[in-house]
Amino acid sequence: MSAIIVTGTDTGVGKTISAAGLTMALGAAYWKPVQAGLDGATDTETVAALTGCPTLPEAYRLNLPGSPHLAAEDMGIDIKIANLALPPAAGPLVVEGAGGVMVPLDRKTFFVDVFARWKAPVLLVALTGLGTINHSALSIAALRTAGCPIAGLIFNGVPDPAAEQTVVEMCGVRHLGRIAPIGALNRKTLANAFQSIDIESIRGLL
């Protein structure tokens, strides 16, 4: 099994859309180990509907939309890190984290600590706009400190060439493409948007 991890510089930066596009482009299975927030469609349900690709059940489904450690405490349960081992899959596996790199899973463990255990390449999603450089650089620094291999960045949103190039040059990471704003989101429009992503470079890491 080969896996790639999708994480973001923050919540709401386009991780799930990026993970869905990547899952479809690679013909992969998708796994979101921790789902915090169960109102409306979950990320797993969204990816399944968008891609038609296989999805694996979450290790934890938490009611509260928020940091996983707080959502778990709200339900009176502990997230056991041992339960977050990468599951077996027949082919490539796309794994989506919750929130950003430094989201706590319990009072001692950040998501980046689990990424480091998995030893799989990490793809970082950044939303273009004010703060992109700072949020990206901080996330990259955290990943490197933890010893995580970084596949590169996918930017999401309107073009911001100066900021994107600054991140790539100053942080020494690969620019894997940018997803332009998508109007009506469906399988076709997602596939079209993902044509700008360097899938072959990502495939070469698996």
Cα(27)–Cα(6) distance, integer angstroms: 16
Distances in Å between the Cα of 112 and the Cα atoms of 99, 101, 107, 157, 196 are: 11, 5, 14, 25, 27
Judged against a pLDDT cut of 80, whether residue 162 lies above it is answered with yes
**Residue 84 counted as domain residue:** yes
pLDDT at residue number 1: 60
pLDDT digits (tens, 9 = 90+) for 24-64: 999 999 999 999 999 989 999 999 999 999 999 999 999 99
**Residue 205 counted as domain residue:** no
Chain centroid to Cα 107, Å, comes to 22
Residue 124 sits in which domain range? 3-197
Active site residues: 32
**Residue 31 counted as domain residue:** yes
Cα(1)–Cα(108) distance, integer angstroms: 29
Can you give the CATH number for the domain in which 124 is found? 3.40.50.300
The predicted model scores a pTM of 0.95
Number of domains in the chain: 1
Q: How confident is the model at residue 188 (pLDDT cuts 50, 70, 90)?
A: very high
Q: How confident is the model at residue 156 (pLDDT cuts 50, 70, 90)?
A: very high
